[in-house]
Amino acid sequence: MRLADLARGAGAVLDGNGDVEITGIAYDSRHVGPGDLFVAVQGLHVDGHHYVGDAIRQGAVAVAVERSVKIPEGIPVLRMPSTRIGLAELSAEFYGRPSLRLKLAGVTGTDGKTTVTHMAEHVLQASGIVAGAMSTVAFKVSGREVDNASGQTTTEAPEVQAWLARMVEGGAQCAVIETTSHALVQERVRACDFDVAAYTNVGHDHLDYHSTWEEYLEAKARLIDLTANAADKGIEKTAVLNRDDASYDRLARRPISRRWTYGMTTASDLHPLELAITGTGSRFRMKTPMGETEVMLHVPARFNIYNALCAAGVCLALGVPVEDIGRGLAGFEGVRGRLEPVDLGQDFRVYIDFAHAAGSLASALAELRPFTRGRLIVVFGSTARSDHDRPGMGRAAAEFSDFFIITTDDPLSEDPVEIARDVQSGAAGKAPGRDFEVVIDRRAAIRRAIEIAEPGDTVLLAGKGHERSMRTARGSEPWDERAEAEAAIKARC
C-alpha cells in the first residue's frame, strides 16, 4: 500500500515521499522487516521513539512519530498527535478497515469475558451466521480455532486488525472480541467499529495498572463510547449491561442509542424465569426484549447464567432470532480451562479452571458447592505476579473448600516454597494434613487430589486453565492440565 494513501486514510500528516510502498506495520523495532512502516509508540516501559534508528536499520521504509526525533535523511515521516491512536488507525487502514464489513461486538468486564465471547460466537455459528472471535484462549474463524499464544487477551492493534481481516476473508458476518481495559486504554481496539458493547462485571482486579476503581471503570466505559461513535452499519448501537453489578449506574450514564440490561430480577431486560439448577448446569426460560426462549445450559455455576444472559443480549443485538438463542446455548460445551469438566467416567467430578486470584478462586469454589454431594477439594497456587493476594487465596481455599492442596503456578524466578508459605499464611486455623497439604510439584499435587477423592467429591484444579506452559526459573516448560488430570484419573483406576 502506498504510504500517502495509508496516511490519508489514517488522518496522518505526511512529511516526505508518499510513493513508498508499505508492506507491513510494526511497533516493536525487534520485529521490523523490510518494507515496514515503524510506528513509534510510548509504552509502559519503553519508548519506541528511541528505537527509530534500529527500525530503519532493520528495513523500515517509513516511520510514524508523535514527537520530534532525529530521523535519517530521505525516510518519510508520518506525524500525529498520538501514535497509539495512529497505530490503530494505520493498522485498520492497512487491512482495509475490516470492521466495517463485520457486525462487531466487544466484551469487557473483570470476569467472564472469554466465556461470554465464546458463548456468543457459538450461538451465532449455531444460528447459521458465520462468526469470528478473539479471546484469551483462541482466535476463531467460522468454527476453526487457533490457540492464542500471544500472552495477551487483546493483542496489539495490527494483530487485531489482521485477525478481523482474516475473518472477513473467511466469510464471517459477525465477530466478537474480548476486550480488556488495558487494551481500551492503550487504544488497541480504537479503530474497530463496534456495534455492541457488552459488560460482565467490574470488580477490583487490575488495580496495579489503574490506580482507582473509578479510573478502571472509566477505562472500561470507553467501550460504550467507542461503540456509540462507530460507523453505522445498519444495526442499532447497543450496550449490554449487568444490572446486578455495582458498575451499572455508572455505565448506564454513558450515552448510546440502546441499552439492554441483564440480571437475575425482572427489573432487567434479559432475565431467567423458573430457574432450576441441574447436576451439571441449569435450565430456565429466558425473558428477552425480543420474546422468550427455553435455555438448557450444560456449564455449571451461577455466574454462567449471567454469562449466558450477556451472550444472549450480544447475539440478539447482532440480529440472531430469539428462538435460536436457547438452541445455541444448549450446544455450548464451555471454554477450554473454564470450569472444564474432565470426565473419564470416574465417580467424582474433576474440573479445570483458570481462576488464579483470591476472588475468582472463591467464586469458582462457591459455584461448585451446590453441584457437590461430597467434599470439595481444590489444587491451586499463586503466580509470581505480586499483585495477586496470596494470603487471600489461602483464605479463599480455607473458607470455600473442604480440603486444599497448595502447589506451584508460574513461579518464574521466585521460590515456589516461599510462595506456598505466603498462600498458607492466609489459612489461619487450618491444620496441615487434616485440612490441607502443600505439594510443590504440580503433577504430584494433582495426583494426590485425585487419589484422595471419594465418590460424590469434586476436585477443582485451579489456575492453569487453558495455558500451555509452566513458567519457572528454568524458563517456560510445556504444561497440559487436562492431560495431567486424565493421567491422574487413569493412574487411580
Ligand X SMILES: Nc1ncnc2c1ncn2[C@@H]1O[C@H](COP(=O)(O)OP(=O)(O)O)[C@@H](O)[C@H]1O
- Note the residues at the interface with ligand X (CB under 6 A): 111-115, 136, 178, 200-201, 303, 306-307, 338-339, 353-355, 360, 363-364
The nearest distance, CB 382 to Mg ion, in angstroms, is 19
- Decide whether 353 or 409 has the Cβ nearer to ligand X: 353
Binding partner at 200 among ligand X, Mg ion, none, C-beta below 5 to 8 Å by kind: ligand X
CB neighbours (10 Å) of residue 391? 16
DSSP state of 275: E
Residue 294, C-beta contacts closer than 8 angstroms, at least 6 positions apart:
283, 285, 286, 326
Q: Distance between CA 341 and CA 359 in Å, rounded? A: 21
The nearest distance, CB 58 to ligand X, in angstroms, is 35
Binding partner at 288 among Mg ion, ligand X, none, C-beta below 5 to 8 Å by kind: none
- Decide whether 99 or 360 has the Cβ nearer to ligand X: 360
C-alpha closest to that of 176 among 202, 197, 200 = 197
- Decide whether 38 or 303 has the Cβ nearer to ligand X: 303
Cell for 451? Answer: 487419589
- Decide whether 113 or 447 has the Cβ nearer to Mg ion: 113
Residue 114 as a binder of Mg ion (CB under 5 A): the answer is: yes
Binding partner at 306 among ligand X, Mg ion, none, C-beta below 5 to 8 Å by kind: ligand X
Q: Judged by CB under 5 A, which stretch of 111-119, 231-239, 254-262, 459-467 contacts Mg ion? A: 111-119
- Looking at the DSSP bridge assignments, the partners of residue 276 are 283
> Is there a contact between 208 and 138 (Cβ–Cβ < 8 Å)?
no
Binding partner at 354 among Mg ion, ligand X, none, C-beta below 5 to 8 Å by kind: ligand X
The nearest distance, CB 137 to ligand X, in angstroms, is 7
Burial class (CB in 10 A: 0-12, 13-18, 19+), 132: buried
Binding partner at 111 among ligand X, Mg ion, none, C-beta below 5 to 8 Å by kind: ligand X
The nearest distance, CB 363 to ligand X, in angstroms, is 5
Region 138-197 residues binding Mg ion, contact defined as CB under 5 A: 153
The nearest distance, CB 72 to ligand X, in angstroms, is 43
CA angle 473, 478, 480 (to 5 degrees): 125
Cell for 430? Answer: 487450618
Q: Looking at beta carbons, which residue is closest to ligand X? A: 112
Q: Which amino acid is at 45?
A: H
The nearest distance, CB 233 to Mg ion, in angstroms, is 26
The nearest distance, CB 112 to ligand X, in angstroms, is 3
Region 117-146 residues binding Mg ion, contact defined as CB under 5 A: 136
CA angle 111, 476, 182 (to 5 degrees): 35
The nearest distance, CB 465 to Mg ion, in angstroms, is 9
Residue 215, C-beta contacts closer than 8 angstroms, at least 6 positions apart:
none
- Decide whether 302 or 375 has the Cβ nearer to ligand X: 302
Q: Which residue has the cell 518519510?
A: 76
3-state secondary structure 187-207: CCCCCCCCCEEEECCCCCCCC
Burial class (CB in 10 A: 0-12, 13-18, 19+), 266: exposed
Q: Which residues lie near Mg ion (CB under 5 A)?
A: 113-114, 136, 153
